[in-house]
Amino acid sequence: MVDARIPTGRRPRYWAQAIKALSESDAVLADIIEASRSEGLRRRSDAFTMLSRAIIGQQISVKAADSIWQRFADLCGGVTPDRVLAVGETKLREGGLTRQKAGYLVHLSEAARAGRLDAPDWSRLDDESIIEELVALKGIGRWTAEMFLIFHMQRPDVLPLGDLGLRRAINLRYAEGRTLSLDELNRIAAPWRPWRTVATWYLWRSLDPIPVEY
């Protein structure tokens, strides 16, 4: 389930080009990028692990998600579809997952074992087509699919405006904390094309001393 063409742990090849372009075109981003220039988006795991993390992290704090993830990984003895299915939904719930999330993880495991996450041709699909494939799975909404595009596929031009952290960062950096409308957010982000993923990552980074990872 790992695309060998995208090395784990390395920044995307386009990163240097993107931060140069964004720094030259946007003074706000230039300052944010300069503060964390040596850092960047890095692929952490395979598709199944990334989506499992995203499901567990839905609607809870990062700290709580990390704690539950560790219990989940320990319970399964490692995160693979076969091991999650061997544990089963009941024991997953006993391990601290809600009924809904336990069910989502079992469904995701079944889909992975059936080969639905083995998608070598996804590199030829556009972003919206990949989102459509993912949201057909239980527990995967648009936000989770966009996180997949950013953190697993490392697509360069994803703008997840449903993400509260990104909206908060734009409001703070571009509007002195005023809540901007969706149209205003899109207007601010338009000049970031085709590097909106990179702008998003640094705006997240401006809010948190720990880089966002999945």
Q: What is the CATH number of the domain that holds 164?
A: 1.10.1670.40
Active site residue 74: no
Predicted pLDDT of residue 120: 66
On whether both 138 and 52 belong to a single domain, the answer is yes
Look at residue 212 and tell me if it is in a domain: no
Burial (Cβ within 10 Å: 0-12, 13-18, ≥19) of residue 54: buried
pTM score:
0.88
Predicted pLDDT of residue 148: 93
On whether both 63 and 107 belong to a single domain, the answer is yes
Backbone phi and psi for residue 191, each to the nearest 5 degrees, phi listed first: -70, -10
pLDDT bracket for residue 8 (50, 70, 90): low
How much of the chain is in helix, strand and coil states, percent to nearest 5?
A: 65, 0, 35
Catalytic hit among 66, 82, 157, 163: 163
For residue 106, the enclosing domain spans 47-152
Look at residue 2 and tell me if it is in a domain: no
Look at residue 74 and tell me if it is in a domain: yes
Predicted pLDDT of residue 1: 35
Predicted pLDDT of residue 155: 96
On whether both 39 and 95 belong to a single domain, the answer is no
Give CA–CA dist 33/49, Å, rounded: 29
Q: Where are the beta strands (DSSP E) in 3-117?
A: none
